[in-house]
Structure 1
Amino acid sequence: MPHPTALVAALTAALAALPAAHAGMYTKNSPVLQVDGRSYSKLIAKSNHTSVRGNPVLVHCVTSLRAPARLGMQLTIVEFYAPWCGHCQNLKPAYEKAARNLAGLAKVAAIDCDDDANKQLCGSMGVQGFPTLKIVRPSKKPGGRPVVEDYQGARTAGAITEAVASKINNHVVRVADKDLESFLEGDGPKVLLFTEKGTTSALLRSVAIDYLDVVSVGQVRNKEKAAVEKFGVEKFPTLVLIPGAGKDPITYDGELNKKDIAAFLSQVAQPNPDPAPNGKDKAKDKPKAEKKDKKDKKQAKSKPEPSKEAEPEESAEASTATTTGSATQTHEVVPIATVTDANMLVEKCLLAKSHTCVLALVPSETSSNGDKVVASLSQLNTKYLHGHRHLFPFFAVPSSVGSASALKDALEISGEVELIALNARRGWWRRYEGDFGVESVEGWIDMIRMGEGAKNKLPKEIVMDEVQAEPEAPSSSTETAETRPTDAEPEEETEPPEATHSIVHEEL
């Protein structure tokens, strides 16, 4: 089975030799970059930005193995598609919106696999259906091997944006009071972001990549009092430029966006060029391309095995992907667990040590929205289970469960059907607002998984130290799709029996 790195190398070599692709699904005015053989090396392989390329079946983040080590090489997401594919056409609006969202942070590219000139490339990448998405993340070490991953998230602009942004490499230095003097040493320019947040935003990570080895980028928390006082910071976030040793710092007063920040930093330095500069590299690349052409001809004689990278995506998207070969295997829907009494609810989700739970608070009687949200969660449960993705558990909580009403009162929600996520251990909860269709719900689940979105403080009175009474043993019917206790470690999970499907959701 080909190694992911070998697949990326094959992708680079094949694209370098192919002629320009015919006009595909994405036009020249589209924010999605339509890549062909002539443009790949310049726009993707040697790009200083993350890229996304075309085929709704496979989206890859591709980074150049030949790019200069000084370049940060941001993440790339690649889409492989066919213009006749209905699912590809359905993905197009969301994909273009994701490209606009990621402007300046990553490139979003596409490859038309229906073009004869691109079929060998798509085959070498293991593309078996449309759309397929893969992410190729560059190594943080100069000359290191890139990491190729399947994109298995929702086919929505928000989910794609979050997935790409979350994987952008981080070259931002965390600066505490004790590290400040060390960070400020040297003559080169430096920039510090003073913020209340403990995480590093995709924007700042992207800036650090653009200016890698040109401008040192650091982040300071508001609790670092000495650093805050030294630079006279009074509000957060605040960006401060230190032009060089012995020079006065300059406080940025514009909007925190990529374009304006780059203009602000231009007074001391220019970012790493994108695409990478021509010249010696171009001369060196020519003989390499010739060697790769010969190598490609040899590889064409032997049919490569399909990449394992495509397997999880295909199984996870079995109900939506258009296959180019045999019919995609489908799975019987695994229903989510139903909470039968108050003690079960406490045991699974409301103990002080409980992790994230997603609860569908539904009427005991049949209702359109109640059935819809349970069906959507069951579809996602099935998808994650068979895709071997470890996420948080889903439960249906009928109104007949005595504590359901008390929970809604404590959270001050009153809808007939409510979808919430809560984490008793960390003391937060979130409320879903929107259509209960599977795509919308999955987008919300992805935001929780990525740690995005507003959180509400969980009332302390609903969190228990222990179960008040010994719960009754659950019947076999309620065990069918029940998850393990939420504090179980994923690595301890064993393959569940055929009749008892278990899924443990990842904790943030």
Structure 2
Amino acid sequence: MVHNPVVVAALSAALLAPLAAGMYSSNSPVLQLTSKNFAEKILKSNHASVVEFYAPWCGHCKNLKPAYEKAAENMKGLAQVAAIDCDEDANKRTCQEYGIQGFPTIKVFKPGKSGKPSIQDYQGARTAKGIVDFLIEQIPNHVTRINSKTVDGFLKEKNETAKAILFTTKGVATPLYKALAVDFFGSVTFGQVRDKETEVLKLFGVEKFPTFLVLPGGSAEGVIYDGDMKKDGMLKFVKKFAQPASGKPKDDEKKEESSSTSSSSAPPPRPTFDSTIPEAPSLEAFAATCGNKICVLVVTPESAPSLSAQEKANFYVNHVKQTFPFFQVQGSKLSPEFMKGFALEKSDQIQVRALSAKRGWYVAYSGDSASDEELKIWIDKIKMGEIQKVKIPQFEKEESTTPPEPAKDAPAPEEPAKEVPKEEEPAKEATKETPEHEEL
């Protein structure tokens, strides 16, 4: 049989076309990114996002695909699970900008009030459950907790715009409700009332839970939602009163333009490092001082901190210090056991840890180093119990000034992003949506 080379070439091109288009099909729940839409879909989004930087020929990327798609399916409507093909010539510049050196590399983008998202490498399990659990923690919380003391202020502020209120038995906002607040960030104010707030319940005449209502604004009466407490139905209901936000609210953009204009004419004064936070030279003294409280440890470098670090330190002292007791210590004064136990590193940047000595847990601050608002949100999450805590390991008292040898089971230094181990299988535990991710 004689083969027509033109026909063979055409058939080959048709068969190879799907491979050239990338690893995820158009029907995949994974958001497809390119260099053209990366900024719009990720950097300007109000939603938290996880992005896989991959190459179609990468075996470990293919192994990750089922779990990654399952994570995308489970996070639908809550946060973005996206991917970009770094083997595509048009996307290589974007991948280079984020320092991608191995595949798959997964990065998490969390919106910041400054207009720029905070970015961190995802170091968790390469499973659907691992990705889902971590990404849920990154969903911004724009839900205001309402009680008898704050309800009047909540109703008076922005009275002409719509407000949504959820009456529930839960003490903290669910991922679904937080995601709904993100959808309408800047156009609708979201609040939550717990069933124990009897005065507020009486004010609104609420007797069953959950109850979801929208106050259209002004003197208009509230409208109660009578559908299932699912994202799609609640989204359509709120759309009757306001449109979802697209990217950053216009007010935020105007503020940024105003600040950039003023800064060009006169540079802001250089802040001075405030060293009035009392020092905590040892774990025992630190824990004893904290007692039953949640305390915050600010670990500073030996050298003078940078401008952004100074701004952060001043904010800790002047704005947040009254929420929790704050303590400062140079990293060089901490024992190796202390550094290891709180996952601290030798660094020229300020590191922050909140801890409860009584309950034996700590939380590391990993937000945007230049964003005061990020720190406020972090503090609020700790107060409301919405942030994942790490158990504090037992520390041995120092018996000599000679630093001990590193523990045999000490974690190895971080390496550049590499391929996911082949033996890791897609998570079976995320084969269906967990109720708390979907229902209120």
CA distance in 2: counterparts of 1:84 and 1:175, whole angstroms:
52
- Structure 2 vs 1, CA of residues 152 and 222 (structure 1 numbering), >3 Å: closer, same or farther? same
SS in 2 for 1:203: helix
- Structure 1: any 5+ residue segments left out of the alignment? 1-20, 48-61, 65-71, 278-352, 354-384, 392-422, 428-447, 453-481, 489-493, 504-508
Question: Is 1:166 aligned to 2:74, yes or no?
Answer: no
SS in 2 for 1:46: helix
Partner amino acid, structure 1, of 2:50: I
Question: Is 1:497 aligned to 2:426, yes or no?
Answer: no
- Structure 2 vs 1, CA of residues 82 and 138 (structure 1 numbering), >3 Å: closer, same or farther? same
Instruction: Give the one of 45, 62, 82 matched to 2:39.
Output: 45
CA distance in 2: counterparts of 1:275 and 1:86, whole angstroms:
37
CA distance in 1: counterparts of 2:108 and 2:409, whole angstroms:
29
Instruction: Give the one of 130, 139, 153 matched to 1:182.
Output: 153
For 1:306-346, what per-residue CA distance to the aligned partner results, in whole angstroms no more than 9, with x for missing partners? Answer: xxxxxxxxxxxxxxxxxxxxxxxxxxxxxxxxxxxxxxxxx
1:63–1:75 Cα contact (<8 Å) kept: no
SS in 2 for 1:255: coil
2:226 aligned partner = 253
Instruction: Give the one of 109, 114, 126 matched to 1:155.
Output: 126
CA distance in 2: counterparts of 1:249 and 1:106, whole angstroms:
29
Partner amino acid, structure 1, of 2:39: A
2:22 aligned partner = 24
Question: Is 1:93 aligned to 2:66, yes or no?
Answer: yes
1:171–1:205 Cα contact (<8 Å) kept: yes
CA positional deviation for 1:163: 1.2
1:339 aligned partner = none
Partner amino acid, structure 2, of 1:174: R
SS in 2 for 1:110: strand
For 1:340-394, what per-residue CA distance to the aligned partner results, in whole angstroms no more than 9, with x for missing partners? Answer: xxxxxxxxxxxxx9xxxxxxxxxxxxxxxxxxxxxxxxxxxxxxx9xx7958xxx
CA distance in 2: counterparts of 1:30 and 1:389, whole angstroms:
41
2:186–2:249 Cα contact (<8 Å) kept: no
CA positional deviation for 1:34: 2.0
**Identity of paired residues, percent?**
44
- Structure 2: any 5+ residue segments left out of the alignment? 1-18, 251-291, 293-336, 344-355, 361-384, 412-440
2:102 aligned partner = 129
CA positional deviation for 1:146: 2.1
Aligned runs of 1:324-363 on 2, under 5 Å?
none
2:168 aligned partner = 195
Aligned runs of 1:399-438 on 2, under 5 Å?
none
Partner amino acid, structure 2, of 1:181: D
CA positional deviation for 1:178: 1.0
- Structure 2 vs 1, CA of residues 496 and 235 (structure 1 numbering), >3 Å: closer, same or farther? farther
CA distance in 1: counterparts of 2:357 and 2:107, whole angstroms:
34
- Structure 2 vs 1, CA of residues 132 and 80 (structure 1 numbering), >3 Å: closer, same or farther? same
CA positional deviation for 1:209: 1.8
2:165–2:191 Cα contact (<8 Å) kept: yes
2:241 aligned partner = 268
- Structure 2 vs 1, CA of residues 224 and 496 (structure 1 numbering), >3 Å: closer, same or farther? farther
CA distance in 1: counterparts of 2:180 and 2:145, whole angstroms:
15
1:214 aligned partner = 187
Number of residue pairs matched?
A: 265
CA positional deviation for 1:426: 6.5
Partner amino acid, structure 1, of 2:85: D
SS in 2 for 1:99: helix
For 1:244-301, what per-residue CA distance to the aligned partner results, in whole angstroms no more than 9, with x for missing partners? Answer: 2322222222222221111111221121247999xxxxxxxxxxxxxxxxxxxxxxxx
For 1:193-229, what per-residue CA distance to the aligned partner results, in whole angstroms no more than 9, with x for missing partners? Answer: 1122222222222221221221111111222111111
2:31 aligned partner = 33
CA distance in 1: counterparts of 2:110 and 2:127, whole angstroms:
21
Partner amino acid, structure 2, of 1:498: P
CA positional deviation for 1:23: 0.6
Partner amino acid, structure 1, of 2:43: T
CA distance in 1: counterparts of 2:210 and 2:142, whole angstroms:
19
CA distance in 2: counterparts of 1:113 and 1:266, whole angstroms:
37
CA distance in 1: counterparts of 2:341 and 2:72, whole angstroms:
26
Q: Show structure 1 runs of 4+ deviating over 3 A.
A: 273-277, 388-391, 423-427, 448-452, 499-503
CA distance in 1: counterparts of 2:217 and 2:59, whole angstroms:
55
Question: Is 1:84 aligned to 2:57, yes or no?
Answer: yes
Partner amino acid, structure 1, of 2:132: T
CA distance in 1: counterparts of 2:240 and 2:220, whole angstroms:
13
Question: Is 1:105 aligned to 2:78, yes or no?
Answer: yes
Question: Is 1:63 aligned to 2:43, yes or no?
Answer: yes
SS in 2 for 1:162: helix
Partner amino acid, structure 1, of 2:394: R
- Structure 2 vs 1, CA of residues 132 and 223 (structure 1 numbering), >3 Å: closer, same or farther? same
Partner amino acid, structure 2, of 1:178: K
SS in 1 for 2:56: coil
CA distance in 2: counterparts of 1:199 and 1:229, whole angstroms:
21
2:417 aligned partner = none
- Structure 2 vs 1, CA of residues 24 and 272 (structure 1 numbering), >3 Å: closer, same or farther? same
1:484 aligned partner = 394
Partner amino acid, structure 1, of 2:237: F
Partner amino acid, structure 2, of 1:24: G
TM-score between the two structures when normalised by the length of structure 1: 0.46
CA positional deviation for 1:425: 6.7
- Structure 2 vs 1, CA of residues 169 and 78 (structure 1 numbering), >3 Å: closer, same or farther? same
For 1:410-468, what per-residue CA distance to the aligned partner results, in whole angstroms no more than 9, with x for missing partners? Answer: xxxxxxxxxxxxx99769xxxxxxxxxxxxxxxxxxxx99659xxxxxxxxxxxxxxxx
CA distance in 1: counterparts of 2:25 and 2:387, whole angstroms:
31
- Structure 2 vs 1, CA of residues 126 and 424 (structure 1 numbering), >3 Å: closer, same or farther? closer
CA positional deviation for 1:137: 1.3
2:137–2:388 Cα contact (<8 Å) kept: no
For 1:121-140, what per-residue CA distance to the aligned partner results, in whole angstroms no more than 9, with x for missing partners? Answer: 32331112111111121212
1:63–1:76 Cα contact (<8 Å) kept: no
CA positional deviation for 1:30: 0.6
SS in 2 for 1:182: helix
Partner amino acid, structure 2, of 1:160: I
2:125–2:131 Cα contact (<8 Å) kept: yes
Q: 1 or 2 for the larger relative contact order (CA 8 Å, sep ≥6)?
A: 2
1:46–1:276 Cα contact (<8 Å) kept: no
